[in-house]
Amino acid sequence: MKARGMALAVLTLGFAAAAFAAEPKHETPAGPPNPGFERLKALIGSWEGTGEDGKPVAISYSLISGGSALEEKLGPADEPSMVTMYHPDGATVLMTHYCAAQNQPRLRAKAASPDARTLEFTFVDCSNLSSKDAGHMHHLVLSFEDPDHFSQEWTWKENAKERKTLFHFSRRKA
């Protein structure tokens, strides 16, 4: 009787293992080609730069969440750091900027050309915006000069007025 129970247990475990092994793997299919997001991924690493006022600015990029998002950390020396998350959305790129102004604007990239030398992001909406006139990032242009140099032109909108700020970055050498 003991042997029969043991044989039944072994058979049951064998069938369960075979069924589990035969279960199809659930892999996430690759999305459509996205030249804008591919260009952004080339920024992975640490960068140093300056704003128009000449103050130093550090910025870094990390690929996260299995390669589905790019995290940007921007830290002017004398201001709170900010985070921007970029992710593909079909053939374009969405970004959410977690601003020191305590709001979170979302911007969408215009369709990138295959070489993606410039990515232009336009305003979609903003969470935690106290009023329609409250200050927020409203537009962003990234320009890629070469593998070790790029710039960001931010447009800040407040009280229906826009102010542009230009940052230049160089890849930090190890």
pLDDT score of 20: 44
pLDDT per residue, tens digit, the chain (174 aa), is 555 555 444 444 444 444 444 444 445 556 677 899 999 999 999 999 998 888 899 999 999 999 999 999 998 767 788 999 999 999 899 999 999 999 999 999 998 877 889 999 999 999 999 999 999 999 999 999 999 999 999 999 999 999 999 999 999 987
- By C-alpha distance, which of 135, 79, 74, 70 is closest to 102? 135
Indicate the number of domains in the chain: 1
Q: Are 36 and 108 in contact (CB under 8 A)?
A: no
- Distance between CA atoms of 100 and 115, rounded to whole angstroms? 32
Instruction: With respect to residue 20, please indicate whether it lies within any of the assigned structural domains.
Output: no
Instruction: With respect to residue 9, please indicate whether it lies within any of the assigned structural domains.
Output: no
- By C-alpha distance, which of 95, 105, 90 is closest to 72? 95
Mean pLDDT of the chain: 86
**CATH number, domain at 122?**
2.40.128.20
pLDDT score of 5: 53
Instruction: With respect to residue 28, please indicate whether it lies within any of the assigned structural domains.
Output: no
Instruction: With respect to residue 130, please indicate whether it lies within any of the assigned structural domains.
Output: yes
State pTM to two decimals. Answer: 0.80
Instruction: With respect to residue 62, please indicate whether it lies within any of the assigned structural domains.
Output: yes
- Residue 140's domain spans which residues? 35-171
Q: Which one-letter amino acid corresponds to residue 102?
A: Q
* Sign of the dihedral defined by the CA atoms of residues 159, 162, 163, 164, in that order: positive
6 burial via Cβ count (<10 Å: 0-12, 13-18, 19+): exposed
103 burial via Cβ count (<10 Å: 0-12, 13-18, 19+): middle
Instruction: With respect to residue 78, please indicate whether it lies within any of the assigned structural domains.
Output: yes
Q: Are 116 and 39 in contact (CB under 8 A)?
A: yes
Instruction: With respect to residue 117, please indicate whether it lies within any of the assigned structural domains.
Output: yes
Instruction: With respect to residue 1, please indicate whether it lies within any of the assigned structural domains.
Output: no
